[in-house]
Amino acid sequence: MLNHWLSLSDPVWEDFDNLQREMERMFRSGPFFSAAGRAGRQTPIPAVNIGETPDKLIIYLFAPGLDPKDIELTIEKNTLTISAGRDTSKDIGDGEKVTGFYRKERFSGNFRRVIALPDGLDTSNVEAKYVDGILMISIAKKEEEQTRKIEVKVD
């Protein structure tokens, strides 16, 4: 009787084999699990460049297609949060609304980008502007943190 349960030729095991083969086929070829399918479902986060000048920190967020009125910036302690979104299903071209896509590589939806800021910034002195799809955020350095050129005197 115990030999019956240990036999791999039992029809019950055949069902498990079929299930395993079907799942392997689905993971290999299904659009939901393909690299392109996964990429299409991920919420992209716009790229940033962060640099500095002697008197300020500058953050560039590359996100074309945003409505500047929908961009929300907050600074709390040493953390900058940028939140926004875009709808790529809006009217395109001649005022026609697209009802379906054959291919869609530009994301539609909301994003949130959190950036840790270095010490020594004057977070009460922040400017932000959005031009040609680039959000530029400028945060002044505190006076004592700014780079100063010191003249060497010759006697």
Please tell me the pTM assigned to this model: 0.62
Q: 1 burial class (0-12, 13-18, 19+ CB within 10 angstroms)?
A: exposed
Looking at residue 85, its pLDDT comes to 85
Class assignment of domain 43-145? Answer: mainly beta
Sorted by where each begins, the domain ranges of the chain are 2-37, 43-145
Q: For the chain (length 155 residues), average pLDDT per consecutive 10?
A: 53 76 72 51 78 95 90 93 80 66 74 92 94 95 79 86
Distance of CA 105 to the CA centre of its chain: 14
**Closest-CA residue to 112 (of 73, 65, 75):** 73
Report the alpha-carbon distance of residue 39 to residue 32 in Å, rounded: 10
Percent of the chain with pLDDT over 70: 72
First to last CA, the chain: 107
How many other C-beta atoms can be found within 10 angstroms of the C-beta atom of residue 142? 13
Q: Are 62 and 131 in contact (CB under 8 A)?
A: no
Looking at residue 144, its pLDDT comes to 78
